[in-house]
Amino acid sequence: MLTRIDHIGIACHDLDATVEFYRSTYGFTDVHFEVNEEQGVREAMLKINDTGDGAASYLQLIQPIREDSPVAKWLAKNGEGVHHIAFGTDGDVQDEADGIAAKGVRVLYEAPRRGSMGSRINFLHPKDCHGVLTELVEKKA
Ligand code: CMX
Ligand code: CO
């Protein structure tokens, strides 16, 4: 089951400047920085103010680190902005992806890849999701 919005992915040209915008404008201070070589991004996860129910949600700011990364291609075409939405799963991410694939939606990876903070991720093709690049996230236990 998809149980929450895990994060919204936002593509940017300057990660540090964009983090500073979210810090100074909204007061989001809980930031996790990471480089994901496979995805070709440097990223910051900003935790949305905690409600204490355990279901934290995040903004994922992503800046490309290579010209051939999907985010670099997207930025060149669209400029900065919302790049993807990520739903959290309550179980195995690949079971979820397989179930969605059976409904005729293209899943981008044959097996889950590594996402932020040790999560397991996969993506659904935006052209099969009414224009929204959709990520599935299974949080590290
Ligand atoms: N949202 C909505 N539509 C998108 C899109 C996005 N993020 N990225 C591409 N598209 C659309 C394009 O506009 C284009 O549509 P048209 O043909 O109508 O112009 C079509 O999809 C094909 O796009 P493209 O620019 O030719 O790009 P590619 O097909 O080479 O790649 C995709 C698209 C989704 C397969 C690729 O971006 C991908 O593999 N994404 C998954 C990985 C990723 O995005 N990683 C970064 C985030 C990492 C993380 O979240 O941790
Ligand atoms: Co993401």
The neighbourhood of ligand 2, an ion, using CB within 5 A, equals 9, 60, 86, 135
Q: Percent of the chain, pLDDT > 70?
A: 95
Q: Which of 133, 134, 139 to mutate to test the pocket of ligand 1 (most atoms within 8 A of CB)?
A: 133
44-58, 95-109, 120-134: least confidently modelled range: 44-58
Average pLDDT over residues 55-65: 91
41-47/31-36 β-pairing: antiparallel
Give residues with Cβ within 8 angstroms of 64, minimum separation 6.
Answer: 11, 40, 41, 71, 72, 75
Specify the pLDDT at position 90.
93
Nearest CA to ligand 1 atom 41: 123
Q: How confident is the model at residue 103 (pLDDT cuts 50, 70, 90)?
A: very high
29-33, 69-73, 117-121: least confidently modelled range: 29-33
Specify the pLDDT at position 51.
65
To the nearest whole number, what is the mean pLDDT of the chain? 94
19: phi then psi, degrees, rounded to nearest 5: -60, -45
Give residues with Cβ within 8 angstroms of 30, minimum separation 6.
Answer: 46, 47, 50
How far is residue 97's CA from residue 105's CA, in Å, rounded to a whole number? 9
Choice among 83, 84, 96, 138 that is catalytic:
84
Q: Percent of the chain, pLDDT > 90?
A: 86
* Domains delineated in the chain: 2-138 (3.10.180.10)
Ligand sitting nearest the alpha carbon of 83: 1
| Contact (CB, 8 A) for 3 and 89 | yes
What confidence tens digit (pLDDT) does each residue in 9-53 have? 999 999 999 999 999 999 988 889 999 999 999 999 998 876 666
Specify the pLDDT at position 56.
77
